[in-house]
Amino acid sequence: MIEVEVHSSLRAFLREHAQPSWPHHLTMARLVARALRLGRSALIQTGSTVPSYRLSYLAPALIWSKPVILVAPVSVQQWLLRIEIPCLQEWMGTNKAIHVGKTFPDQRFRGLLITSPASWLADRLSQFPRLPSGIPTLIDDADDLEEWARNYLQAGIKPQDWDELMLGHPQQVDLIRDLRVRLTKAIFEHPTNPYECCLLSSGEQNILQQLFEILKPVADTDQYLYLPEAWQNFWHCWQSNGQIIWAEVSPTTGQFSLYCSPVEVATALNSVWSQQPVVLIGEALDLETTAPVYRQQLGLGELTCLKFGPDRHSEMIQLYLPDRLPMPNTALFQDALRQQVRSLLTLSCSGKELTVILVGDMPLKAQLGAAIAAEFGSRVQVEKTNLDDGGILVCGWEFWRDHHSELSSPQLLIIATLPIPSLENPLVAGRVAYYKQQHRDWFRLYLLPAALRELQRAVTPVRASQGVVALLDNRVNHRSYGNQVLCALSPFARINYLDRSLFADLIS
């Protein structure tokens, strides 16, 4: 069986090449091999950002005698093509053809096709797919699959699309320009927010509706009216149920872009999963092994699930979780946060290791960055990656997620508040409103899972150094979901007080 061959080959490879120790290589490789042999779907949570886990799906994919599809972001593709695949192919003696592209090079291809998430989704959701059905498909970085799907299903109208529309309708230029002016005025009357976007009100949607009624041909006539592609896509998206319509504004230029995207992607993806067996591989997809919330969000049915956790001996963090701090939504919180951050930095700053301060609130991030820079000087940088030894990085969750691989493992990660999506963000508010309309638990099904997923991914780099995580959000101690937060952070050794000895071993 392929499971036996994969196990023995990969075990010998790992011994020979002294790969970074990830204890689950062989277990994961056997599961992927079994999924290929039986044509059954599976979901694997690696609990690791160490890229060597990818050997565990590459080995069975290269040994398997039939075609396989690998869906991965371009950055991952480059790593695999440059490092992992050549080394693994040469050592194992496999000669599997590798093709990078949107579809198979020919009908007889039996190699490994590597494609991007956007290309794969476009093919699977197309009425005329080019990829054959039934081909086992591995999806890496599946933590971002919902976002990939939403981005693909989203339609947008940029400022330049208005110019194209007027070129296509020279008789309606004055009307188009007038409606655009009205829409601009209405959008910029919305209260400003740090996210520089707003949901379109019913009145603003009516302006758009007027425009489309003029531009769209009457259904029961043969009249042809040209509509540029961006406008066609937006119209078709708008006609679907469960859509959010919003504007992204640029206060400096006075321009805006319009977007329409689905609140949930499960409905659209339902038809995808029956087309082929899939193996979804992510770092932290769900708090539970069976990933019920993640599967519901993506429209996935029953499948084999496997979850690996951090090693208790080599990846345990030290968790500082003080009690009696003011709650984040109170006036006293900012002063208490600054005092805690200052104390932590004073105790830890004698080393050359990186310190990261995660602040989700945009105004607070800027204020805190300025306050600690006044005391700790140029070592403090806000959302930059060119840091000196002993650097202090102040950043948001998205920046840390996108750039942590470019930085060394921090000895100290300070988390100001839990990464619960803010209702002040109009897009978050729009999704919450949809859940409420459906009489669904918007906190347990949307906000909390998103926060736990983000939290787990953010903390993983600290585990490499068994560093300190300081969580300064007192809701963890006093809200019913606090235990789930602690479960997401496990394994950890809890610390209730600050002491210089806390960082002594890390500094030495």
403 domain residue, yes or no: yes
Range of the domain at 53: 2-136+276-307
CA distance between the termini of the chain: 49
What are the pLDDT digits (tens) for 256-285?
999 999 999 999 999 999 999 999 999 999
Is the domain of 50 the same as that of 111?
yes
Tell me if residue 159 falls in helix, strand or coil.
helix
Tally of residues, the chain: 508
Is the domain of 113 the same as that of 249?
no
113 domain residue, yes or no: yes
Tokens of 234: 């937006």
Write down the pLDDT at residue 217. Answer: 60
Write down the pLDDT at residue 428. Answer: 97
147 domain residue, yes or no: no
Low-confidence winner among 23-37, 46-60, 236-250, 287-301 (lowest mean pLDDT): 46-60
Domains of the chain: total:
3
Is the domain of 296 the same as that of 323?
no
Which residues on adjacent β-strands are paired with residue 244?
261
Contacts of 379 (CB under 8 A, 6+ apart): 349, 387, 388, 390, 391, 392
Write down the pLDDT at residue 50. Answer: 76
268 domain residue, yes or no: no
Is the domain of 65 the same as that of 197?
no
Looking at residue 385, what DSSP letter applies? S
Write down the pLDDT at residue 132. Answer: 95
Low-confidence winner among 210-219, 232-241, 324-333 (lowest mean pLDDT): 210-219
Confidence of residue 19 (pLDDT cuts 50, 70, 90): low
Is the domain of 222 the same as that of 366?
no
Tell me if residue 40 falls in helix, strand or coil.
coil
148 domain residue, yes or no: no
Contacts of 282 (CB under 8 A, 6+ apart): 44, 45, 46, 141, 142, 143, 145
Is the domain of 356 the same as that of 301?
no
Calculate the CA dihedral of residues 355, 359, 362, 364 and round it to 10 degrees.
Answer: -90
Is the domain of 280 the same as that of 219?
no
Write down the pLDDT at residue 504. Answer: 66
145 domain residue, yes or no: no
Is the domain of 284 the same as that of 243?
no
Write down the pLDDT at residue 223. Answer: 64
Average model confidence (pLDDT) for the chain? 93
Is the domain of 337 the same as that of 465?
yes
Is the domain of 294 the same as that of 403?
no
105 domain residue, yes or no: yes
Write down the pLDDT at residue 20. Answer: 61
Residue where a domain stops, chosen among 228, 262, 296: 262
182 domain residue, yes or no: yes
Is the domain of 34 the same as that of 99?
yes
Write down the pLDDT at residue 498. Answer: 77
Write down the pLDDT at residue 17. Answer: 83
What are the pLDDT digits (tens) for 253-262?
999 999 999 9
- Mean pLDDT across the stretch 92-107? 94
Residue where a domain stops, chosen among 194, 228, 262: 262
Is the domain of 477 the same as that of 394?
yes
What are the pLDDT digits (tens) for 119-177?
999 999 999 999 999 999 999 999 999 999 999 999 999 999 999 999 999 999 999 99
Position 219 pLDDT exceeds 60: no
E strand map for 208-365: 243-250, 255-262, 278-282, 304-307, 317-320, 355-358
Position 440 pLDDT exceeds 90: yes
CATH code for position 23: 3.40.50
CA angle 267–144–45, rounded 5-degree value = 100
Write down the pLDDT at residue 405. Answer: 87
